[in-house]
């Protein structure tokens, strides 16, 4: 029993010493951080202008690139029914409405992402303009009244109107081409004619 008590006492003593040393080092570390000299992280206007210019160029290229990518995807989804097999078109039936709708939603997503990225670009541009004005290096061009509207919001307005009009025309075209009673009868007749043509043996004249 005595050796066990002695071992327990030594364990308590060692744990107390380790805890004291760890607490002392932690307290010293925090005191060193509090008394450390502050590092000057400020930059001058020239370096700030360079950073803002690089950020603006990246945002500008990204917003146009994302707009083009999403618009291509929207067009691909919208015209998908016209590239389908007639049997698949017949089996999908009213689900063909989903393709013009998905194309329109994809176009709206591309316009929204472009607008959001354009807002970020404008925030960076305003900060850059502030620095340039401070050093008398900003030149304001006198645009005609027609071009005074921001090119980004003009692009958003034109794309929104064009996407809505084209989606409406595509929806009507899909309905007229595949979903009316006459169109479906014409598709069924063409499928049956193709099947009969495949069943008839082709005789090559000797």
- From the CB of residue 179, how many other CB atoms can be counted at a distance below 10 Å? 16
Which domain range does residue 164 map to?
45-139+152-198
For the CA atoms of 185, 188, 190, 196, the dihedral, rounded to the nearest 10 degrees, stands at -140
pLDDT recorded at residue 164: 95
Instruction: Give me the pLDDT at residue 4, please.
Output: 46
Q: Considering the domain boundaries, does residue 112 fall inside one?
A: yes
Residue whose pair of structure tokens reads 């017949």 in the numeric block: 90
Query: Considering the domain boundaries, does residue 13 fall inside one?
Result: no
Residues 6+ apart with CB under 8 A from 127: 52
Q: Is residue 68 part of a domain?
A: yes
Q: Is 76 domain-assigned?
A: yes
Q: Is residue 109 part of a domain?
A: yes
pTM over 0.85: no
Residue 26 falls within a domain, yes or no?
no
- The answer to whether residue 66 is domain-embedded is yes
Q: How far is residue 113's CA from residue 73's CA, in Å, rounded to a whole number?
A: 14
Question: Quick one: pLDDT at residue 27?
Answer: 47
Question: Would you write out the chain's pLDDT as a tens digit for each of its 206 residues?
Answer: 444 455 445 555 555 555 555 554 554 444 444 454 544 456 788 888 888 889 888 888 888 888 889 899 999 999 999 998 888 888 888 899 999 999 999 999 999 999 888 888 888 988 888 888 888 877 776 666 555 557 778 888 899 999 999 999 999 999 999 989 898 898 888 888 888 888 866 555 55
Tell me how far the alpha carbon of residue 151 is from its chain's centroid: 20
Domain total for the chain? 1
Q: Give a yes or no: residue 144 inside a domain.
A: no
């Amino acid at each position: 029993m005595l050796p066990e008590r002695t071992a327990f006492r030594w364990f308590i003593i060692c744990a107390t010493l380790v805890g004291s040393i760890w607490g002392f080092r932690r307290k010293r570390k925090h005191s060193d951080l509090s008394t450390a000299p502050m590092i000057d992280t400020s930059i001058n206007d020239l370096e700030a202008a360079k950073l803002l210019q690089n950020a603006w160029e990246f945002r500008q290229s990204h917003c146009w690139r994302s707009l083009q990518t999403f618009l291509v995807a929207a067009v691909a989804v919208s015209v998908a029914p016209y590239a389908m097999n007639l049997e698949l078109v017949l089996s999908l039936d009213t689900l063909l409405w989903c393709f013009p709708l998905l194309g329109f939603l994809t176009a709206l997503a591309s316009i929204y992402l472009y607008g959001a990225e354009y807002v970020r670009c404008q925030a960076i541009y305003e900060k850059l303009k502030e620095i340039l004005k401070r050093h008398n290096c900003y030149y304001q061009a006198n645009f005609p009244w027609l071009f005074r509207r921001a090119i980004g919001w003009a692009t958003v307005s034109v794309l929104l109107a064009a996407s809505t009009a084209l989606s409406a025309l595509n929806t009507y075209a899909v309905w007229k081409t595949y979903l009316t009673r006459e169109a479906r009868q014409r598709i069924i007749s063409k499928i049956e004619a193709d099947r009969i043509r495949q069943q008839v043996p082709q005789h090559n004249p000797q």
